[in-house]
A and B are shown apart, each in its own frame.
Chain A
Amino acid sequence: MTILKANFKYNVSWLIIMVAGFYLMNTLMLMGIIDSFIENMLVVIGINIILATGLNLVIGFAGQFSLGHAGFMAIGAYATAIITTNSATAGGFYTSIVVGVIIAIIAAIIVGVPTLRLRGDYLAIATMGAAEIIRIIINNLQITNGPSGMFNIPQFATWPVVYIMVCVTTILIANFVRSRAGRAIKSVREDEIAAESAGINTTNWKLAAFVFGAATAAIAGSLDASYLQTIAPTNFGIMESISILIIVVLGGVGSLTGSVVAAVVLGILDTALQNFGTLRMVIYAAALILIMIFKPTGLLGSHELSFKHLFSGTKRKGRVRS
């Protein structure tokens, strides 16, 4: 909470922009400029923003190469699917989000404690394996309807709900990153050994980022289930984790703005290229390789669009970029 107060000015400014954006989109929809087709695209973009910013927190800011994001998304999705199918009320929906987040946090701790001490490439495979274990378990439970998945999930995630969730999660993540906790996490990414010697409990902070990321993934999953109304275990496999990774990498690992921009760009591209089918994925894969070879820092590198710079004005010259 103190973090939120400290960044009060920026939070308020962003809040104003977000509210303005909401009204803008609402108006456009009422005017019929944004039809249901585009609305669909916006919702998907919104969910991807939540996923990408959450993953960016883990990979970009904490420097932990996790490829298991889809597993936590699945937890949120199924929590919502199961609970709202049995209790088709708004209360049930929001409860399911909370339940999903809680289960995801527990799962993240169980997965994170043993695996976060692993090095880069091993951590990637281990988290991938962990997500697959989650998916396989879901695939074999009665309550989740197994491999056939669940459908006719009541829809509570209308676009205003998604929009608000996107804003909330983004503000929370942005504040987390700018806080003392965020700095600790960044120091772990920069040089873990140095951070240890400075007395920072690296294990705890890495876990904190990982858990936070998992929680946001669960929220995204809940929204996904409630909007699309159909889910199946195959939606949450390795391909899905890689797709989110592509968004993060494209936008710039370490830049939240980048993740948002990339999610928007890819969302529009996805819709535009819809008829290309699998060729779309081929293009993305090729793009990923080319970006890694020629501009590994992605679209925005680790820059952020920030009111800090606007507000500090002339003071900026002496400031060190964090």
Chain B
Amino acid sequence: MEASTLQTFFQQLINGLSLGSIYALLALGYTMVYGIIKLINFAHGDIYMLGAFWGYYVINFWHFNFLFALLSAMLVGAVAGVIIEYFAYRPLRHAPRITALITAIGVSFLLENGMSYLYGSTPRDFPQIIEPVNYHVFGVLISNIQILILVTACLLMVILQVIIKKTKMGKAMRAVSVDPDAAELVGINLNRTISFTFALGSSMAGAAGVLIGLYYNSIDPLMGMTPGIKAFVAAVVGGIGSVPGASIGGFLIGLLETLVQSVGLSAYKDAAVYFVLIVILLVLPAGIFGKNIKEKV
């Protein structure tokens, strides 16, 4: 009896971490963008959707393999993010935040309905380019796809962290996030830095789209809405603006969702995540790694 509960625990752990790593990738994009221009990019989840659709097409029609599908989806995501920032958010850089937020909602709406219009809203099967193989390790079931997702996501997170910590552009991103005026005074080009941030964050979303296509095998134009919100919750839980926080937050939300499913409350798995959001915003708004910035009178 003992062994099987432990097994179940590890099983759920694997499932939760796999799902969580995808949320983590999405959360990173949210947190980076919020950190630098203090905007919740509602359209972020839809870039994830674009990545999934891109993957669907290049695998089906151009016979890309997994690696090329992933890398090209990241590129597509990056380009999409930069274009959106340039046309929809940059003009509103100095406008009230509500205006920018409404615009972000508009972009999200546009992408969702645009894709629905072009490709119909029925879900499509994501091509199975990797034959699923199940491994049994101590009675726990791990599929090769889960391993692939975990490894890919972690690799991307590490690369992202290196870029942010070690490269000049990465440091510029951090500088602009902390103090845009001072950043300009040392010669940093705000627009370029912000575009770079969007490119980086959106490429993570594109990658996540391909990975989730592999995992759940189903894509549709509205697939980005709910994961997008959950990823945002993850970013908040980890501390909005904190990159390690977003990763941890993503894993936590993935684990939470799997946990809720495993106790038989699948129907409420989304509600649980929303509930966590409200609780966290009230109890620990700065999140795990965040800094509490009080509004000064």
Q: Give A contacts to B, CB under 8 Å.
A: 65, 67, 114-115, 117-118, 120-122, 124-126, 128-130, 132-133, 136-137, 139-140, 193, 238-239, 242, 245, 249, 277-279, 281-282, 284-286, 288-289, 292-293, 296
Contacts and interface: CB of A to CB of B under 8 A. Distances in A.
Contact of A65 (B39, B101, B233): B101
Is the contact region of chain B dominated by helix, strand, or loop, or is it mixed? Answer: helix
Contacts of A193: 297
Given A65-B98, A114-B278, A120-B98, A278 B103 contact: no
A173 B106 CA distance: 27
A282 B113 contact: yes
Nearest to A147: B267
A286 B281 contact: no
Given A136-B267, A193-B297, A282-B114, 19 more contacts: A67-B105, A120-B97, A125-B232, A128-B229, A129-B275, A129-B277, A130-B274, A132-B274, A133-B271, A133-B275, A242-B105, A278-B117, A281-B116, A284-B109, A285-B110, A286-B106, A292-B99, A293-B88, A296-B99
Binding site secondary structure of chain A:
helix
- 8 pairs of A and B residues whose beta carbons are closest in the complex: A129-B274, A285-B110, A288-B106, A281-B113, A285-B109, A278-B117, A289-B106, A292-B103
B183 interface: no
B39 A121 contact: yes
8 contacts: A122-B236, A124-B40, A124-B101, A126-B277, A126-B278, A278-B113, A278-B121, A292-B103
B1 interface: no
B101 A121 contact: yes
A192 B22 CA distance: 39
Contacts of A129: 229, 233, 274-275, 277-278
A278 B116 CA distance: 7
B107 interface: yes
A293 B92 contact: yes
Contacts of A292: 92, 95, 99-100, 102-103, 106
A128 B274 CA distance: 9
Contacts of B264: none
B267 A139 contact: yes
Interface of B: 39-40, 88, 91-92, 95-103, 105-107, 109-110, 113-114, 116-117, 121, 225, 229, 232-233, 236, 267-268, 270-271, 274-275, 277-278, 281-282, 285, 297
A286 B109 CA distance: 9
Contacts of B281: 115, 118, 122, 126
Contact of A279 (B99, B109, B117, B233): B117
Contact of B229 (A117, A121, A125, A277): A125
A125 B117 contact: no
Given A125-B232, A286-B110, A136 B270 contact: yes
A126 to B, nearest CB: 5
Nearest to B222: A239
B270 A245 contact: no
A286 B121 CA distance: 19
A139 B266 CA distance: 12
Q: Output the residue of A124, A129, A279, A284 with the most chain B CB within 10 A.
A: A129
B233 to A, nearest CB: 8
Contacts of A296: 95-96, 99
Contacts of B101: 65, 120-121, 124
Nearest to A59: B98
A275 to B, nearest CB: 13
A137 B92 contact: no
A289 B103 contact: yes
A242 B225 CA distance: 13
B282 A136 contact: no
A240 B46 CA distance: 18
A65 B97 CA distance: 11
A43 B268 CA distance: 34
B267 A115 contact: no
